[in-house]
């Protein structure tokens, strides 16, 4: 072979080798990265090439799929979309997915490896598995009672089964219909942009992702801390609680919402019934930040949860003085909580102090209805002893029958309740809270937390947990009990 031909052969061989190396790099090293790239249209085409599996509530699907005219053949549909949006989230050809739609995207879309393992012949034939289903814990009657109870007001409701941690309802208002931007048309784009600009933020999940001062609902935790740490042992004995009471290190008097309430040296029980800030603020201050925070953390504060949707962390602050600890003792200051967290602490008291991990998915199943994964209830902590929890139950039940919690009473059922009015500072309306549980012969099947964020049409003197939030809690409990 002459010299020029040899050079051409070497050069051609080098080119072929570089092409092979590049092909190997693209297919095997960067294959997964390129396959999942947001600009890879083939991924979207494959993802919407068939109907998705469904999200199931009460034995019935609240989602579906409908054919389109584009290359993305199917788009998502939602039944009662606004009511279930805090649970299902959205699945959009243009904007991705969220909440249960996002967490279970591969299963619903048929790309979960567990679906292939169920039908190994599909791997040989190249047939794409149909999507599986997500079976939720949501009680449709409770969810409807929560959503309709909130109505056109801004707020949130969470209902739990204290015995298992099952989330029975998770409502947030105002809400949105995920169907309106499920496609990829100009109309879908406009609907999405309108929701992003809406000042009421309907896409915010107030039940799981937004935190607020819990107000006087937190007094059940402060009472638990006082009893657990031996500050007081008898809930009916007088406390050392002057009225008026000046917060430590300040000249500021801590006011009671009702100036005529019998709060001076009131027992923990009477102070719960009348929501006495002077009593529970001083209890918090006397306990100190570390003891109060320690009890709060047993109830779930300062932790992030996945239910499996991520829930925001509720925070009990670390670096606070005695005066600030007093404010934390009444659910104010820099203390914040999600409605889920407030429902969790209520459920723990109702369940004799045992806090169960909250969860929203009962089962994942294949398209042939076979079980792929089933959730088992899991205990998070023993927040307080059963004996101590029963003392707080009696206080909450006395609050429902004799005090500020009468709005949640149900004939023939033992109900515990507690109101809360949370201040948020200048130029902001107070929040109205209500927590409650109901007891039957089988224990407590439901605990509820309701938060209402009133608008300017509600006069300040009409903002109270009993008036605005209590009736909603009652409707949700009844929906569960009637079942």
What are the pLDDT digits (tens) for 229-276?
999 999 999 999 999 999 999 999 999 988 899 999 999 999 999 999
Q: Which of 34-48, 274-288, 381-395 has the lowest mean pLDDT?
A: 34-48
What are the pLDDT digits (tens) for 45-69?
666 778 999 999 999 999 999 998 8
| Residue 5 tokens, joined | 């031909």
State the catalytic residues.
216
- Amino acid 426: pLDDT: 78
What are the pLDDT digits (tens) for 276-287?
999 999 999 999
Share above pLDDT 90 across residues of the chain, in percent, rounded to a whole number: 79
**Which domains occur in the chain, in start order?**
215-368+381-482 (3.40.710.10)
pLDDT of residue 43 exceeding 70, the answer is no
Backbone angles phi, psi at 240, to 5 degrees: -90, 85
Mean pLDDT, residues 153-164: 98
Mean pLDDT, residues 10-17: 75
Share above pLDDT 70 across residues of the chain, in percent, rounded to a whole number: 92
- Amino acid 48: pLDDT: 76
pLDDT of residue 30 exceeding 70, the answer is no
pLDDT of residue 125 exceeding 60, the answer is no
pLDDT of residue 396 exceeding 80, the answer is yes
Q: What is the mean pLDDT of the chain?
A: 92
């Amino acid at each position: 072979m002459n010299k020029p031909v040899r050079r051409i052969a070497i050069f051609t061989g080098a080119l072929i080798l570089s092409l092979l190396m590049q092909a190997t790099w693209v297919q095997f090293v960067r294959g997964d990265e390129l396959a999942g790239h947001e600009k890879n249209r083939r991924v979207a085409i494959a993802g919407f090439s068939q109907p998705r599996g469904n999200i199931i509530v009460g034995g019935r699907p609240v989602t579906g799929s409908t054919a389109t005219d584009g290359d993305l053949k199917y788009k998502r549909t939602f039944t009662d979309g606004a009511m279930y949006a805090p649970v299902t989230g959205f699945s959009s050809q243009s904007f991705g997915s969220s909440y249960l739609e996002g967490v279970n995207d591969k299963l619903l879309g048929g790309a979960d490896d567990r679906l292939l393992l169920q039908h190994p012949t599909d791997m040989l034939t190249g047939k794409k598995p149909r999507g599986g289903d997500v079976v939720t814990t949501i009680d449709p009657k409770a969810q409807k009672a929560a959503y309709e109870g909130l109505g056109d007001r801004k707020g949130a409701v969470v209902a739990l089964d204290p015995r298992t941690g099952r989330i029975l309802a998770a409502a947030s208002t105002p809400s949105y219909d995920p169907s309106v931007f499920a496609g990829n048309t100009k109309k879908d784009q406009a609907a999405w942009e309108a929701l992003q600009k809406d000042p009421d933020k309907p896409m915010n999940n107030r039940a799981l992702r937004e935190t607020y001062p819990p107000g006087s609902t937190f007094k059940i935790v402060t009472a638990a801390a006082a009893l657990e740490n031996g500050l007081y042992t008898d809930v009916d004995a007088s406390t050392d609680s002057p009225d008026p009471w000046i917060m430590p290190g300040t000249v500021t008097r801590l006011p009671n919402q009702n100036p005529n309430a019998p709060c001076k040296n009131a027992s923990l029980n009477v102070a719960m019934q009348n929501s006495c800030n002077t009593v529970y603020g001083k209890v918090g201050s006397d306990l100190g930040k570390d003891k109060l925070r320690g009890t709060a953390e047993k109830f779930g504060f300062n932790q992030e949860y996945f239910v499996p949707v991520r829930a925001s962390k509720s925070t009990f602050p670390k670096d606070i003085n005695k005066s600030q600890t007093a404010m934390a003792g009444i659910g104010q200051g820099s203390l914040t909580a999600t409605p889920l967290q407030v429902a969790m602490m209520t459920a723990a008291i109702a369940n004799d102090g045992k806090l169960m991990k909250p969860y929203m998915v009962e089962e994942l199943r294949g398209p042939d209805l076979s079980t792929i994964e089933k959730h088992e209830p899991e205990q998070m902590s023993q927040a307080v002893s059963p004996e101590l929890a029963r003392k707080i139950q009696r206080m909450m039940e006395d609050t429902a029958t004799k005090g500020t919690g009468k709005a949640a009473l149900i004939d023939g059922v033992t109900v515990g309740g507690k109101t809360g009015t949370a201040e948020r500072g200048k130029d902001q309306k107070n929040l109205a809270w209500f927590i409650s549980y109901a007891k039957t012969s089988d224990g407590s099947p439901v605990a509820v937390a309701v938060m209402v964020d009133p608008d300017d049409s509600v006069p300040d003197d009409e903002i109270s947990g009993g008036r605005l939030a209590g009736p909603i809690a009652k409707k949700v409990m009844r929906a569960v009990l009637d079942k």
